[in-house]
Each structure stands twice: as structure tokens, then as C-alpha cells.
Amino acid sequence: MRPAFVSALCELAAEDERIWLLCGDLGYSALEPFRDTFPARYVNAGVAEQNMTGLAAGLALSGKVPFTYSIANFPTLRALEQIRDDVCYHDCNVKIVSVGAGFSYGAQGYTHHGVEDIAIMRALPEMVVVSPGDPVEARLATRAIAKHDGPCYLRLGKSGETTIHKSDPDFAIGRAIVLAEGTDVTLIATGAVLKDTVEAADKLRAEGIGARVLSMHTVSPLDVAAVRAAASETGAIVTIEEHNVVGGLGSAVADVLAEMGGPRPKLRKVGVPARRYHEIGSQKYMRGLLLGDIAQIAREACARGSR
């Protein structure tokens, strides 16, 4: 996803001289294309993400379109007060980008695991939260948030994510992408677990279970219509995210279901358990350990019935 983001940002910067990139002393071997092509619009703020965010707010108030960039928790949690007070309170046109969502930096431990960021960012006023599922969505999301007038958060994997889309889907902020249809269960994924979700749906389909697959690349604003359709047209809903089960995609979907009248489908949330953990390891290992078997969870949701 990271190369797709950098490539798209360079294209955008060539089209729009208002676009700046600010980083927190990282991105080496990744951000050089922007730095070398647009040196006057590139700032390495050092390991000072709060200052970086304040600078971005000032640039936005001066008519620029700044993108801030750092690893997982650092441009979000470390700079949360500045995002809340400088960016959101003033409705600044700042685009916050984190690389290494979820367990992308799994071997570096909890300090580098981005597993609460969606919950925190979607709680902020007017903040658009986008978590693309593959490099194609990452490229389209970069263009979409650049066009959006207001604060945005773009949550990226690191690199090497599998490309799911064979061609560009119809991408719009706040509108889910349907990858497969089905009436037994709906699998709703956000972020790079889209690949695992598609594979789980394939397993279910081979067993005669019709699995609808939605890429919910935007968690805020959520595609409420897509969730309501899944609730009325399929027997169960399973949300999948490389994020804490509290406050993320699963909670957003649960809010929609809670406000619906009449019978509602069974909901299961696949994500990081809401507990303290000390495990470290590769992203694949951490997903298997903490997220579990998506297909099996969907089977159980279907077997229990929905109404």
C-alpha cells in the first residue's frame, strides 16, 4: 500500500501545488520520490509528531493541503491533542496518514501495533477515516481524500499487500465496495485483512454457504445503506478488522444494527481482543493468534441462526 500511496501523492502534487508532505523522520526508501521532486513542499519534522501536526494545521490555514506521515500510532495517538484542537476544531484541511496499520510492525511489539487508531480517530468531529483493503484502494483513497475538503485519516499497511481488485472499482468516500454476493452471511472487512476475508468467503462458498463480501474502506462516514441491506438480505454479519473489537468497524456496524427496527441478524466481530496482550511476531502470526479463523467464525454465526 505504501508505494501506491507515494505514487498517487506524487501525481497529485504535480497537479496541485498546494499539496505538501510532512514526515516524522522516517519513510527512507519510500518517500524519496516526493522529496526529490518537490523539495520545497517536503518537511521532515523529526521525531516530533505534535509539532508536525501543528505545522500542518498552519499550512492548511494558509491554503495548503498538507499530508502528515508516520508509523501507526505516532501521527495519531502521540499527536492526538493537536489533531483534536488544531486540526478538527478549526476544520483544517489536513490529511493524516499512518503506515503500518494493525500488525504490520508485529515483531516490534505493542508500541508499534496500530490497533486502537480507528476507534480514536472516528470519535473526532468531522474526521473522515479511510482504511483501504489493497494497493488499488490505497491509490484511489489517496486521491479521494486529497479532493475532500476537511480533515481525513488514511490508514495504510506497510508494503507487499496482495492486490485484490483486477481493475479500478467505483471508489467513493463513505460507500462500500461489493466484491461478492451472497444471502447466508455478509463478511464486512476494512483494511488489509480484505485478502483473508475474500479467501474465507471462497472457502464458505465451496461448502455451499453464500457469503457476501464488502470492502468497507471508509469507517467514518460508514456506508449505513450497505449495512442495512446486509442485515435485511443475509442471515448473519461478520465484521473483520486488524484492530481492537472496541470502537472500530465492528462497533460502527453494531451501532447501525442497534438503531434498526424489527428482527436483526446475528453479528460477530473479528478483531483484536479487548485485553492487554504481550505477544509479538510476524503480521501473519499475530493475525492467526488474535483474530482467529474467519471462515469458522462465519460458519458458527450461520449455524446459530439470525432471527
Range of the domain at 226: 177-304
pLDDT at 193 over 80: yes
Query: What's the whole-number mean pLDDT along residues 223-239?
Result: 97
One domain, residues 128 and 267: no
pLDDT at 105 over 90: yes
Question: DSSP string spanning 54-66?
Answer: HHHHHHHHTT-EE
pLDDT at 188: 98
One domain, residues 92 and 181: no
Q: Taking the model in full, what pTM does it have? A: 0.96
Q: What is the pLDDT of residues 46-56, one digit of tens each?
A: 999 999 999 99
One domain, residues 199 and 72: no
Residue 163 lies in a domain: no
pLDDT at 306: 42
One domain, residues 188 and 257: yes
Residue 181 lies in a domain: yes
One domain, residues 100 and 196: no
One domain, residues 252 and 297: yes
Q: Please give the helix or strand (H or E) that residue 245 lies within, else none.
A: none
DSSP H helical ranges for the chain: 2-15, 32-37, 49-61, 80-82, 117-122, 135-147, 194-206, 224-233, 249-258, 283-286, 294-304
The two beta strands, 185-190 and 236-244, are: parallel
One domain, residues 201 and 152: no
CATH number, domain of 91, equals: 3.40.50.970
Residue 161 lies in a domain: no
Grade residue 304 by pLDDT with cuts at 50, 70 and 90: low
One domain, residues 105 and 238: no
User: Average model confidence (pLDDT) for the chain?
Assistant: 96
Domain end: 156, 190, 217, which one?
156
CATH number, domain of 278, equals: 3.40.50.920
One domain, residues 112 and 214: no
One domain, residues 6 and 119: yes
Residue 279 lies in a domain: yes
One domain, residues 12 and 143: yes
